[in-house]
Amino acid sequence: MATLHNRISRKELKLRALQEQTPRNTLSFYAYFPIENPKVFRDEWYLQLNQWKVYGRIYVAEEGINAQISCPVENFDHLKQFIYDHQHLNGLRLNKAVEEKENSFYVLDIKVRSKIVADGIEDPNFSMERKGRYVNAMEFNEMVKDPQTLVIDMRNHYEFEVGRFKNAIEIPSDTFREQLPMADAMFQDKKETNIIMYCTGGIRCEKASAWMLHKGYKNVFHLEGGIINYVNQSREKGLENHFIGKNFVFDERLGERITEDIIAHCHICGTPCDYHVNCTNSSCHLLFIQCDKCKIALNGCCSNSCKDILTLDDEEQKKLRKGQDKGRNVFNKAKSRMESLSHKPES
């Protein structure tokens, strides 16, 4: 029987991947379409992609597929044909990463989920069949010339913190499921206004655009292919780039440099910095921004208390981690500023 899961430790897989000399492409894609049996679909994809040494994270659900992957360049054409051979995926846009400087993934994970993006929507009348209109990079640049156009960021607060479109409005939250009702509450008096929603690769803003139309908004648009496609289109066509800073990505890179602007600050000392790290203390693993000076001083930890834990032997550290559920452990300034946030575009 064919192997449908990884049988080797992630540590070993990472070591093997780091030793590879094969050039790779980092890709992302998604599609909302009905999948009758996600488990069968998942197994079919795992068998084929594993054969081509594709790494990455793919979620499959009855509502569609969401993928962020790394594929050997030599196998890209095979992968593309395999994707396009599926009826609902033929001609699908495959977003190539803006930067290819580091390994993005080391293992292949394909998981069946209830939804390809957790949205918290329970309204039985909601449907993805009616969604906002796509805008490409050129159309986006034209629309934002109108100061009345609202540009809404549908990413998490830590993504917004390091990079965003000029004059974008933050929905300050940890999760997409929290943002949907917040977005509706924030713009109740703007239901006739042109609204452009955006995210990293398009999957969240596409669903958000459908949600806003469902809630009675009239002129809702969403950025085709998200930030990744916008930046690639802008560079290919020589368009003005309205995105500043760094594009946060959910892989080993934790970010793609779009412009040299540093708009975030070290969460320890406040020095201009936009480099995300995870706390070296495994019982914490906090995602936060840290400058090189603080990284050295704290041994890669987020605090002196975590630094002290690293001095304990392995058994003591294991005891501290036992039974812990860190969940989404992210440094969050957003909640503390929610009440004071004016919800107006930056000047």
pLDDT bin (cut points 50, 70, 90) of residue 156 is very high
Angstrom CA distances, 273 to 103, 131, 269, 270, 299, stand at 22, 37, 10, 8, 17
- What is the pLDDT at residue 340? 34
Tens-digit pLDDT profile for residues 114-150: 999 999 999 999 999 899 999 999 999 999 999 999 9
Q: Does the pLDDT of residue 278 top 70, yes or no?
A: yes
Complete domains list, the chain, with CATH: 22-112 (3.30.70.100), 133-245 (3.40.250.10), 264-342 (no CATH)
| Mean pLDDT along residues 180-198 | 97
In terms of pLDDT, which residue wins out, 114 or 19?
114
Which residues partner with 255 through β-bridges? Answer: none
State the Cα–Cα distance between residues 325 and 32, nearest whole angstrom.
31
Q: What one-character DSSP code corresponds to residue 15?
A: H
Of residues 186 and 13, the one with the higher pLDDT is 186
Tell which wins on pLDDT, 327 or 234.
234
Exactly one of 199, 279, 301, 306 is catalytic; which is it? 199
Of 241, 236, 287, 281, the closest CA to residue 261 belongs to 241
- Of the listed ranges 185-194, 254-263, 315-324, the one predicted with least confidence: 315-324
Amino acid 148: pLDDT = 97
pTM of the model: 0.83
Is the pLDDT at 237 greater than 80? The verdict is yes
DSSP letter at 338?
T
The percent of residues above 90 in pLDDT, for the chain, comes to 75
Q: 86 or 320: whose pLDDT is higher?
A: 86
Which comes out higher in pLDDT, residue 98 or 159? 159
Helices and strands of the chain, counted as H and E runs: 12, 15
* pLDDT higher than threshold 50 for residue 207: yes
Mean pLDDT of the 96-109 span: 81
Give strand ranges (E) for the chain.
24-32, 55-61, 64-72, 95-96, 108-112, 133-135, 150-153, 163-165, 169-170, 194-198, 219-223, 243-247, 256-257, 276-278, 287-289
Task: Give the phi and the psi of residue 68 in degrees, each rounded to 5.
Answer: -130, 115
- In percent, how much of the chain has pLDDT > 70? 86
Confidence of residue 18 (pLDDT cuts 50, 70, 90): low
Across all residues in the chain, what is the average pLDDT? 88
Can 306 be counted among the known catalytic residues?
Answer: no
344 C-beta neighbours (distance < 10 Å), count: 9
Q: Is the pLDDT of residue 295 over 50?
A: yes
- Minimum mean pLDDT among 131-135, 209-213, 248-252: which range? 248-252
Residue with tokens 């999760």: 175
Confidence of residue 8 (pLDDT cuts 50, 70, 90): low
The dihedral of CA 275, 69, 42, 121: what is its sign?
positive
